[in-house]
Amino acid sequence: MNKILLIIQREYLSRVKKKSFIIMTLLTPLIVAGFYGLIIYFSIQGVKGTFNKVAVVNNNKSLTEKLQPTKNIGYAYVNQSLEAMKSSLKTTEYDYILYLPEFDISSPKGIQLIGTKQAGLSLSNRVSGDIEELIRTQKLKASGISQTDLDGLKTDVNIDTKKIGEAGKEEDSSAGASTIIGTAAGIFMFMFILLYGIQVMRGVIEEKTSRIIEIMISSVKPFQLMMGKIIGIALVGLTQFVLWIVLTASISTLAVSAFVGKDAIAQNTSVAIKAKDGTSISPAVNSPVDSPVLAMQKSLASLDLTKIILVFIFFFIGGYLFYSALYAAIGSAVDSETETQQFMMPVMMPLLVGYALSLSVVTNDPYGPIAFWLSMIPFTSPIAMVVRLPYGVPDWQLALSMLILVVGFIGTVWLASRIYRVGILMYGKKTSLKEMIKWFTYKN
């Protein structure tokens, strides 16, 4: 046991003392925050700043209502033919031509959006939505409904989602927050397991090719060496993860208070509603005009973040130990990293399948049979369970998944150790899968 602890200490300290570890640990939260900040910023600016002028050529006599300009699209009806507009489009101020042919408004066909450049999906969807709203309005007016009545038909609805807990009490819930947290946890789990598992494999290959392992094997057993390396790198990953959580939380808090908080205060104090008599009425603090920050805080408050983080740490350690034992076996069986490809694919495929299905099937149906079995099978449970957790997982399922993962880790370590003890001393020979199977029968 003391020898394993010494190996753990060596693996841990040799990595956390590296400048690259310190720099990446400090910079990663900033890089991630900046990356997503830029995506959100440019997405918002793209939506707000995009404005297209569209010339409408209306040849449909039955369509008497007109498209009204919006914040992103300026519609202008022209009295020219479609062919004339096509030939002169480059010299006009218009970006696109919207052609409305003669059609029955109950089944519109042949509508075209023409431009000198390909219209984006967002623009196409907006124009389609505007035309659908236009036809709907005309149909309603044709049935005798006035414009005032039409305006009264439009109602914004906000739904507060609730769920009944195991104790029978009603609890707040948020599908949006659960999806965001679950998706982020699944992505980070996939990255961590892959990143640190490959580090184990590279460490074994490096020691094997430099022949250092021959000296180490004279003092410790192969199993002790493998377990020390796996646990040591696991502690490195756990240290980095905890630091990232602390740094990310600190950066997020400062960013919200510095930027979003000011916007929320300004919005709550400056926005006013005009009454019919012309007087201004300031909205209440909890009115729908409030900043979305309050809604986000309410959504996050409905989640047990402490439980999510603790369970994430458990499945990170369990999933890492499960896969890193296999990566250690692969590293011991080859002489260079280029030879690992034939063995890595069978190991990575279950992880990739779990990742893909968790972010598609599990987020859409977290209580279905596929989600259940994905969160039970050790090859996929580290990702599937952390994705399911924000939606609410029964305690017995969580306990069963943890138990199966621990048993799976023990079995994986036993299998990997049978390969590791032979593979670390094999040099100059390309190992096949058939050869690795033979190593299981070798006696100590």
Q: Does the residue 94 lie in any domain?
A: yes
* Same-domain status, 184 and 319: yes
Q: Which residue has the higher pLDDT, 147 or 362?
A: 362
If asked whether residues 245 and 384 sit together in one domain, one would say yes
Q: What is the pLDDT of residues 237-258, one digit of tens each?
A: 888 878 887 887 777 667 656 5
Predicted local distance difference test score (pLDDT) of residue 405: 92
Residues 119-139: tens digit of each pLDDT: 877 788 888 888 888 888 888
pLDDT of residue 258: 58
Tell me phi and psi for residue 157, to 5 degrees.
-120, 125
DSSP one-letter string for 357-406: HIIIIIHH-TTSHHHHHHTTSTTTHHHHHHHHGGG---HHHHHHHHHHHH
| Count of the separate structural domains present in the chain | 2
Within a domain: 188 = yes
What's the token pair of residue 336?
Answer: 């260079």
In a domain, 154, yes or no: no
Average pLDDT over the chain, rounded to an integer: 76
Residue 399 main-chain phi, psi, to 5 deg:
-65, -40
Does the residue 326 lie in any domain? yes
128 and 216 co-located in one domain: no
Q: Which H or E element spans position 187?
A: helix 175-209
CA 211 – CA 387 distance, rounded (Å):
42
In a domain, 238, yes or no: yes
- 319 token code pair: 């999933």
CATH number at residue 63: 3.40.190.10
Q: Which domain holds residue 94?
A: 49-147
Is there a domain that residue 32 lies in?
no
What are 293-340's pLDDT values in tens digits? 445 555 555 667 788 888 888 998 888 888 888 888 887 777 777 777
Structure tokens at 419: 């390969």
State whether 360 and 244 are in the same domain.
yes
Note the pLDDT of residue 71: 82
